[in-house]
Amino acid sequence: MKELKSLTPYREALRLLLEDLSEIPETEEVELGEALGRVLAEDVVSPIDSPPFDRSAVDGYAVRAEDTFQAREYRPVEIKVIDEITAGEASKVKVEPGTAVKLTTGAKIPEGANAVLMQEMAEREGDVIRVLRPVAPGQNVAFAGEDVRKGEVVLRKGQVLRPQDLALLKSLGFKKVEVKRKPRVGIIITGDELVEEFDEEALNSGKIMESNSIMLEGLVKRYFGEPVFYGVLPDDEGVIGETLGKAKEENDLVLITGGSAFGDKDFAHRFVKLLFHGTTIKPGRPMGYGERVFVMSGYPVSAFAQFHLYVKHALAKLTGARDYEVRVKAKLTERVPSQLGRYEFVKVRYENGVARPIKKKGSGIISSVVESNGYIGIPEDSEGYLEGETVEVVLY
């Protein structure tokens, strides 16, 4: 079998493919309920102050702070309660000297009041409270605009929308939001050895269950894309060429697994003008890219690594997504050796600031990625990391 003539360093290959892609211009307006995980297409400016009025941060009494300055537990100050309100209500009375309004957390501060006395700091009898401790002006008050000011940019273009982002948008009165169109990602699986339905006889005769499609579909969805599945194809040059040509026309990116090396049945790379073919990553070395097509390994673990090292960054480039990776520092539980000249994708289990390398090896061992929740990248010029060394883990 013909070997790869040269290997493109990981970072160089990533640079080449990102330079080959441009951010897609199309956007769409979607309901907030449909916006989770979408990429924001524009900065969002708050149309209001939030909260829109001064409100109580505790259950208690709205008072004039100066009326409480002399209060002590051994010498309480008496104040008359002239109204009671709850959150969502507004008092129609004005707090004058010597008066107070009882209110609950979140209720609007009535006119004339400038502080809230916690109810635990007062003893009530009828419509009179005995204040046991003084409060300062502004104490226990959440001021208008304390959370967000009108005209403030609250979310930036490229934000991958999270539940908390959607909550903020809804609190400001938004019902819809402008997001990037999802890139269409064609997925083609190739291999005579693959079966899509469980067949014990076929498996005993050397066939294997196909699993890359559902994994890649899930990864594409997770990283802002819309997968389009073109099926599991036999190792037939004509069928692969025709399907790949159709997928290239209909999608922003295409992922094709199998056929990335130079075996007699490795056809995929023959139909693509590749910017590079073969990189220093391990696993997944034979991967190629060109014409918005990723020619990927047929082995699931290799394809998984190739997606995280390359494809997700391409999807981020197409959508303008920012901060789409979660990176944490962790101490290694054991030494992780590496071969010079290889960029190693090392699967780890991260918990409580500690990273435990997954010992299961092999590009076909799917359980190894199931047991992991992140990876560390070991660059080509490193022979690995020592036990106890602090490393950066990319969570997935």
Asked if the model's pLDDT at residue 93 lies above 70, the reply is: yes
pLDDT in tens, 167-226: 999 999 999 999 999 999 999 999 999 999 898 888 888 899 999 999 999 999 999 999
Please name the helix (run of DSSP H) or strand (run of DSSP E) that holds residue 63, with its range, or none: strand 60-63
Asked if the model's pLDDT at residue 1 lies above 50, the reply is: no
Give the confidence band of 71 by pLDDT, cuts at 50, 70, 90. very high
Distance, in Å, from the CA atom of 370 to the CA atom of 349, rounded to the nearest integer, reads 10
CB 65 within 8 A of CB 121: no
CATH 2.40.340.10 residue ranges of the chain are 326-395
For the segment(s) 326-395, the CATH number from 2.40.50.140, 2.40.340.10, 3.10.20.740, 3.40.50.1000 is 2.40.340.10
pLDDT for the residue 203: 85
pLDDT for the residue 3: 55
CB 84 within 8 A of CB 103: yes
For the segment(s) 10-25+182-319, the CATH number from 3.40.980.10, 3.40.630.40, 3.20.20.70, 3.30.390.30 is 3.40.980.10
109: phi then psi, degrees, rounded to nearest 5: -70, 125
- What Cα–Cα distance (Å) separates residue 371 from each residue in 60, 72, 111, 193, 220? 51, 61, 59, 26, 21
What average pLDDT is seen over the chain? 95
- pTM of the predicted model, to two decimals? 0.88
List the one residue out of 259, 293, 263, 264 whose CA is nearest residue 276: 293
CATH 2.170.190.11 residue ranges of the chain are 55-142
pLDDT for the residue 117: 98
Distance, in Å, from the CA atom of 243 to the CA atom of 256, rounded to the nearest integer, reads 10
Give the confidence band of 354 by pLDDT, cuts at 50, 70, 90. very high
CATH 3.90.105.10 residue ranges of the chain are 38-49+149-180
Strand partners, 83: 101
Q: What is the CATH number of domain 55-142?
A: 2.170.190.11
> What percentage of the chain carries pLDDT values higher than 70?
97
pLDDT for the residue 262: 66
For the segment(s) 38-49+149-180, the CATH number from 2.60.40.10, 3.40.50.970, 3.90.105.10, 3.20.20.140 is 3.90.105.10
CB 185 within 8 A of CB 213: no
- What Cα–Cα distance (Å) separates residue 12 from each residue in 279, 280, 346? 9, 10, 20
pLDDT in tens, 35-51: 999 999 999 999 999 99
CATH 3.40.980.10 residue ranges of the chain are 10-25+182-319
- How many Cα atoms sit within 13 Å of 256 on the Cβ side? 36
CB 277 within 8 A of CB 286: yes
SS3 196: coil
pLDDT in tens, 263-306: 667 788 889 999 999 999 999 999 999 999 999 999 999 999 99
Distance, in Å, from the CA atom of 184 to the CA atom of 219, rounded to the nearest integer, reads 13
How far apart are the two ends of the chain, measured CA to CA in Å?
Answer: 35
Please give the sequence-ordered ranges of beta strands (E in DSSP) within 164-308, or none if there are none: 176-180, 184-190, 194-195, 208-209, 226-233, 253-257, 276-277, 281-282, 288-290, 293-296
